[in-house]
Amino acid sequence: MTDLLQKINQLALADIAAPLGFHADGQHVGLKHKSKDLGWIFSDKPAAVAGVFTTNQVQAAPVQLNKQTIKNGMLQAIIVNSGNANAVTGKIGMVHAKQMQETTATVLNIDPDLVGVASTGVIGQILPIDKVVAGIHQLKIDGNTNGFAHAIMTTDTAEKSITIQSTIAGHLVTMSGVAKGSGMIHPNMATMLGFITTDIDIAPDMLQKALSEDVETSFNQITIDGDTSTNDMVLVMANGLANNVTIDRHNSDYDHFKDMLHTVTTALAIGIASDGEGATKLLSVTVNQAQSALDARMVAKKVVGSSLVKTAMFGQDPNWGRIIAAIGASDVDIDPDIIDISLNDIPVMIAGAPTDFDQTDMTESLKQKNIAIDINLHTGDASGQAWGSDLTYEYVKINALYTT
C-alpha cells in the first residue's frame, strides 16, 4: 500500500495525456461557481475501448449512452462535466448527453460514435446544456492536461492521477489514469469516474476482459459510505501508438498489461478511499488464509464498510469487537476461535481471544493517517484487500449541505 500511495502522491508526474497520441484539457464554463467543470480527452487515432458501469438500476443518461457507444469497441474522445449529474432528468437527459457527444464530435471533426460522455454532480437537476455546448468550443486539443483531473472533481479535495511506464516486447509503453470520487462510494462497479489512457496496442475484447476482471480486486474493493451512484464508470482507451505487437490473446504480454492496469486501478482506488468525504484516515483491510480469494475480499469489504468500525477508527478506539462482529456478518464460513486480528501490526486478538496490548501505544498508533487492519482466518491460503475511510462529523456536514 505504501508504494501505491507514494505513486499517487507524485501528482506532478501524472498526466492523463502522457501516453503517445493523447491530449486533454479542462476549463471552467460556469457549471460550478469557480472551479474547472468541463474537460475532454482526445486521441490522435481511434482507440480500443473498454468500460465498466454502475450497477444501480437508476442510471444517468451518459451511462446509458456510453453502454451503446462502446459496443463498437472503439473510442477517440471523452467529454466530461462536473457540477451536474444529468441523472433522473427524464427524456431531456438523453437529448443533452447526445448534444454533448455530437458537439464534441463536430469540434474535433470525428464521428459521434467515437465520443464517450460522462457527468458527475447533483442528481435531478436539468443540465445547463447551453453552457456545456459553449464550453466544448472553448476546450483545446493541446490544453491544460492537468486541468482535466480538476474538471471532473466534485467534493474531492485532491486530484487522483498516476502515470507509469514499462516495456512490452522491447517497446516503451505508457499508461495513465485519473479518477474522481469522494462520496457515494460503494462500487459494484459504480460510484466514481475513472479514465485510463495507454498507447499499448491491445484488441478491444482483451481490453474489456482485462478491465472487467481487474475491477473486482481494485475499484470494487473500496467503500466510503455504502451508497452506489447513478452515474459512474471506468473507461480505458488504448490507441496502439507504442507499436508493440497487438495483444489479441492470453500470453505474457497480456499478463504484463494486466499488471500495469492493476497498478493504475489500485492506486486510483486507494486515492479515492483516502479522499473520502470528511475523511481523516485511510483504512486498509487485508485478509489472509481465507478459503478463497472471493471470501477474503468479501470479509475485507465487510469490515472496511462497517460504520461501527469506521467510527471507532475515527475515535482512535481499538474496538476490535466491532471488527470480529463485521467478519461474522460477512456470509463467509469462518471459525471465530481461530481468527487473528491486528491493528497497525499490533495484535489485538489471537486464536479468537483478546491480547494484552499496550493501550498507550495503540492510541498513538491510531492517530496515524493510515490504519492497517490485518485479519487471518486460518481456513485456507487465499488473500484479499479492501480500502475505505473513517466516518466523521464532517461527512455528515458535507452531505447535509452539498449542492454542487
Angle between helices 320-328 and 293-304 (to 10 degrees): 130
Report how many domains make up the chain. Answer: 2
- 106-112 contacts, C-beta under 8 A, 24 or more apart: 107/136, 107/137, 107/139, 108/42, 108/76, 108/77, 108/141, 110/76, 110/77, 111/76
User: Are residues 336 and 396 both part of a single domain?
Assistant: yes
Confidence (pLDDT) at 84 = 92
User: Are residues 111 and 168 both part of a single domain?
Assistant: yes
User: Are residues 113 and 228 both part of a single domain?
Assistant: yes
What φ, ψ does residue 29 adopt, rounded to 5°? -125, 5
Which residues on adjacent β-strands are paired with residue 173?
166
pTM for this model (two decimals): 0.83
Domain boundary pick from 250, 274, 298: 274
User: Are residues 30 and 168 both part of a single domain?
Assistant: yes
User: Are residues 118 and 137 both part of a single domain?
Assistant: yes
pLDDT digits (tens, 9 = 90+) for 112-169: 999 999 999 888 999 999 999 999 999 999 988 889 999 998 877 778 899 999 999 9
Q: Among 76-80, 117-121, 184-188, 248-252, which is the least confidently predicted range? A: 184-188
User: Are residues 72 and 160 both part of a single domain?
Assistant: yes
Q: Helices H, strands E: what count in the chain? A: 12, 15
What φ, ψ does residue 352 adopt, rounded to 5°? 75, 10
Q: Which of 103, 154, 163, 191 is catalytic?
A: 191
Domain boundary pick from 255, 274, 293: 274
237: CATH? 3.60.70.12
Confidence (pLDDT) at 34 = 84
Residue 13: pLDDT band (50, 70, 90) is low
Nearest partner of 195 among 237, 166, 145, judged by Cα: 237
What φ, ψ does residue 180 adopt, rounded to 5°? -130, 150
- Report whether 164 contacts 262 (CB < 8 A): no
Confidence (pLDDT) at 225 = 47
Domain boundary pick from 274, 293, 323: 274
390: CATH? 3.10.20.340
Residue 4: pLDDT band (50, 70, 90) is very low
Confidence (pLDDT) at 185 = 41
Nearest partner of 159 among 185, 177, 142, judged by Cα: 177
Q: Which residue has the higher pLDDT, 205 or 123?
A: 205
Nearest partner of 310 among 157, 153, 186, 160, judged by Cα: 186
Measure Cα distances from 27 to 86, 145, 213, 222 in Å.
19, 10, 34, 29
What φ, ψ does residue 173 adopt, rounded to 5°? -125, 150
pLDDT digits (tens, 9 = 90+) for 222-250: 875 444 567 778 999 999 999 999 999 99
- Rounded Cα distance between 257 and 253, Å, is 6
Helix or strand or coil: residue 284?
strand
Nearest partner of 249 among 209, 278, 222, judged by Cα: 209
Helix or strand or coil: residue 344?
coil
- Report whether 346 contacts 372 (CB < 8 A): no
For the question of residue 191 being annotated catalytic, the response is yes
- Rounded percentage of the chain residues whose pLDDT exceeds 70: 89
User: Are residues 286 and 270 both part of a single domain?
Assistant: no
Q: DSSP assignment, residue 90?
A: T
Measure Cα distances from 2 to 5, 6, 267, 371, 375 in Å.
5, 6, 10, 11, 18
User: Are residues 126 and 177 both part of a single domain?
Assistant: yes
User: Are residues 215 and 352 both part of a single domain?
Assistant: no
Confidence (pLDDT) at 1 = 43
pLDDT digits (tens, 9 = 90+) for 96-114: 999 999 999 999 999 999 9
User: Are residues 57 and 111 both part of a single domain?
Assistant: yes
| Residue type, position 127, single letter | L
- Report whether 285 contacts 304 (CB < 8 A): yes
User: Are residues 242 and 326 both part of a single domain?
Assistant: no
Helix or strand or coil: residue 120?
strand
- The b/e string for 72-87 (b: 16+ C-beta within 10 A; e otherwise) is eebbbbbbbbbbbbbb
Q: Which range of residues forms the domain containing residue 9?
A: 2-274
User: Are residues 313 and 215 both part of a single domain?
Assistant: no
| Residue type, position 240, single letter | G
